């Protein structure tokens, strides 16, 4: 039960982060956010394992929300700005 709760909590957080990057008209509910995540993110990300990009479980504990929003909205701009965390994540995931 703890694992299910943890996975659901992580999914809600990831959904919320992705919803921030879109206008309110596109993501009004967690269900719509989940659909966006499934349509746009699951080809590169999973919750518990690295796929092409990093695993997203507990990502909110690894980085600050402000940084995550910047990364989600435009990761390349963050890398080009020289942000050390962004450069490290970029390199760790085969650029």
Q: Which residues pair with 50 in a beta bridge?
A: 45
At 90, list the tokens: 């970029």
pLDDT for the residue 16? 64
pLDDT for the residue 33? 82
- Whole-prediction pTM value? 0.61
pLDDT for the residue 27? 46
pLDDT for the residue 18? 66
pLDDT for the residue 78? 95
Sign of the CA dihedral 53, 57, 62, 67? positive
Pick out the chain residues at pLDDT < 70: 1-28
The residue behind tokens 């080009």 is 80
């Amino acid at each position: 039960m703890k694992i299910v709760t943890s996975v659901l909590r992580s999914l809600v957080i990831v959904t919320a982060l992705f919803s921030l990057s879109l206008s309110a008209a596109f993501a009004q509910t967690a269900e719509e956010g989940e659909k966006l995540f499934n349509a746009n993110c699951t080809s590169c990300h999973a919750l518990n394992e690295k796929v092409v990009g990093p695993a997203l479980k507990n990502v909110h504990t690894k980085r600050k929300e402000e940084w995550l929003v910047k990364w989600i909205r435009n990761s390349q701009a963050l890398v080009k700005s020289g942000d050390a965390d962004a450069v490290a994540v970029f390199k760790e995931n085969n650029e």
